[in-house]
Structure 1
Amino acid sequence: MDFAFLFAEWLGKPVWMWASFISLVITILAFDLGVLHRDNKEIEVSDSLKLSALYISLGLAFGAWVWWYLGAESGMNYLTGFVVEKTLALDNVFVIALIFSFFAVPRLYQHRVLFWGILGVIVLRAIMIGLGAALVTEFAWVLYLFAAFLIGTGLKMLFGEDKEPDLAKNPLINFMRRRFNVTNELHGERFFVRQENPKTGRAALFVTPLFMALVVIEVADVIFAVDSVPAIFAITTDPFIVYTSNIFAILGLRALYFALAAMIHRFEYLKPALAIVLIFIGSKIFMADLLGIEKFPPALSLGITLSIIAAGVVWSLVKTRKSEESA
């Protein structure tokens, strides 16, 4: 059998590298669902932290392989993208918790929704990153649009009013309720049920609130990707580094969710740090032009990013601890 096609390039890397990565992700997800969470059960904070540590270790180990095989610059770009995407994902936790609360989804079934949500994210991010790579390759000036967008987003996060989304008025939820048969209550872990339609008296297919929660979470991720995809392209334009760092950061979000949801209030001051990171990532494209260099040094970019995020985490933990002690 001729395996020459495995060494053909696709989006800048050999096909075997892409195939190996996808196979690794499928194996991880199969192990997670088929072994670790074969039966529905509530995930405790301690289990969430252990599983998160495993996912973070896998992501860092892959980054170490990228560093060894593709070189230090690719390794540093991967780690920077991984850290930025992981931090951006913290914003998702608040929204996901709000969605689960709105649909009254118990912790017992939240893992199922998040698992299928991750599968959707893997496909959607591939499409968005593929489109982004095509645009950047064809029109180099798109990077400057991404950079300006990141700076604007960061400034809005720093100085804009932070409002909690009102899901009761969400147009997507209202659209689904108008267009589909929707049950008023959950039916265990099922996304769809067949039952009698009170309007016609005939059996019909109904969607459950669990499925609606899944759809809203998927759409929320697309909205968040509008920030994260330009951010990673501002770090590197290598589609392989962009996609792998994105997916490894997201894979662990499901595991980390159950721990973060219980202590999200301790990261109150992380959002300003994240806003500064976005401004920095957007600005460094323009700074490279001003300094007359091809690109901002990856090592310096990684160091500054880690320092800003670490400062935000430490400051959040210190300030919220003082607030709890004085309460």
Structure 2
Amino acid sequence: MLAIDLGLFAKDNKPITLKAAAIMSLIWVLFALAFGGVLYFWGYELHDVHDIARLQEIVAKHHHDIKINVNDVAASIQAYNTNLTLEYLTGYVVEYALSVDNIFVMVLLFSSFGIPERYYHKVLVWGILGAILMRCIFIFVGAALIAKFGWILYVFGAFLVYTGITMYINRNQEEEVDPKNHPVVKFASKYFKVTHKLDSGKFFLKENGVKYITPLFLVLLVIEFTDLIFAVDSIPAIFSVTKDPYVVFFSNIFAVLGLRSMFFLLVNIIHKFHYLKVGLAFLLVFIGAKMLLHSYLKEWGFSTLHSLIVIIGILAISIIASLVFPKKVDYGK
């Protein structure tokens, strides 16, 4: 799937059109939904669930919210598949929404480093490949920690509530990036020779036998570093939805794979969604509170479907509010 995306977009250094970005965004979303269909019909194959004993073992291990009828294997397995699909879709929506925050930062980074639009896609290709690798490591380390230390979920929950409150408090602050004083740039400049030449979109440039790194490679390093920071939020967030590391992985990776096409779709209009940061702040607080109050919510009958409805509701309200109440432009600046 990723090879198809790269084959369509990475043939040459040309800006991606809005039409191409919209088509690829739609394709990625359809791929993600199709995979949800795979889980709905064949999710039991994920952990080789073919009998009640195995189903009970997996449900207990990953804390799935379903009722098992020991007298009806088929119905119980289908209930498991349905819940698995809901967990996946909920996680996908959460990760896709949090990815929008990445786009805010990426637009800022490309602008601050003076990267021409025709080179965006090359940087994003490698940035997303790096993000996939980092997410794999984070997800399975996180799953191992949760399996070993169940109390760490409360740490994750408190951290997400804190992050959401901080995001809300700082929602109106203008974000700035100083390319010369960024810690990643300082680190790279300390160990490598840096040139200001872009040289046809190359990451490395050789002059007089000396190899230099270009601004394109610097911005790639900063993007990878930024995604590492975002992963600290997004990985705990997805574990509030499901404890199954494979479902966590699938929902996370599908969201990351669609990030590049979504970037080109939103790059010129993302400023219009000025209430989205508020929505994401409330989203993080909700997810964190859900992790902290999980046992109580389970007693009250709060299911994965309810979580999905609340999450979609928060995002829909923030988007609609942005369009209905557009941000006032200060022409005096």
Measured against the shorter chain, the TM-score band is 0.7 to 0.9
Does the Cα contact within 8 Å between 2:193 and 2:211 map onto a contact in 1? yes
Aligned match of 1:170:
182
Which amino acid letter does the alignment assign opposite residue 115 of structure 1? V
Which amino acid letter does the alignment assign opposite residue 112 of structure 1? K
SS at 1:114 equivalent:
helix
Q: 1:292 to 1:228 in 2, by over 3 A?
A: closer
* 1:273 aligned to which of 270, 274, 279: 279
Shift in Å at residue 30 of structure 1?
Answer: 1.3
Q: Which has the higher helix share?
A: 1
Q: 1:108 to 1:232 in 2, by over 3 A?
A: same
Query: For 2:294 and 2:142, how far apart are their aligned partners in 1?
Result: 21
Aligned match of 2:69:
none
Q: 1:281 to 1:305 in 2, by over 3 A?
A: same
Query: For 1:291 and 1:281, how far apart are their aligned partners in 2?
Result: 12
Shift in Å at residue 97 of structure 1?
Answer: 1.1
Query: For 2:146 and 2:122, how far apart are their aligned partners in 1?
Result: 36
- What is the root-mean-square deviation of aligned Cα atoms in Å? 2.0
* 2:196 aligned to which of 139, 164, 184: 184
SS at 1:274 equivalent:
helix
Q: Within the alignment, does 1:31 sit opposite 2:41 as a pair?
A: no
Aligned match of 2:32:
59
Aligned match of 1:148:
158
Which amino acid letter does the alignment assign opposite residue 183 of structure 1? T
Query: For 2:12 and 2:257, how far apart are their aligned partners in 1?
Result: 20
Q: Within the alignment, does 1:42 sit opposite 2:15 as a pair?
A: yes
* 2:230 aligned to which of 200, 224, 242: 224
Which amino acid letter does the alignment assign opposite residue 239 of structure 2? F
Aligned match of 1:256:
262
Q: Within the alignment, does 1:134 sit opposite 2:144 as a pair?
A: yes
Percentage identity across aligned positions?
A: 43
Shift in Å at residue 36 of structure 1?
Answer: 4.3
Give the count of matched residue pairs. 292
Query: For 1:246 and 1:292, how far apart are their aligned partners in 2?
Result: 24
1:5-16 correspondence runs (5 A): none
Gapped regions of structure 1 (runs ≥ 5) = 1-27, 197-202
SS at 1:167 equivalent:
coil
Aligned match of 2:123:
113
Q: Displaced runs of 4+ in structure 1, greater than 6 A?
A: none
Does the Cα contact within 8 Å between 1:55 and 1:252 map onto a contact in 2? yes
Does the Cα contact within 8 Å between 1:285 and 1:296 map onto a contact in 2? no
Shift in Å at residue 193 of structure 1?
Answer: 1.4
Which amino acid letter does the alignment assign opposite residue 160 of structure 2? L
Aligned match of 2:71:
none
Q: Within the alignment, does 1:80 sit opposite 2:90 as a pair?
A: yes
Q: Does 293-302 or 180-189 show the bigger shift?
A: 293-302
Shift in Å at residue 251 of structure 1?
Answer: 0.7
Q: Please, what TM-score do these two structures have when normalized by structure 2?
A: 0.83
Shift in Å at residue 296 of structure 1?
Answer: 4.1
Aligned match of 1:13:
none
Query: For 2:112 and 2:182, how far apart are their aligned partners in 1?
Result: 11
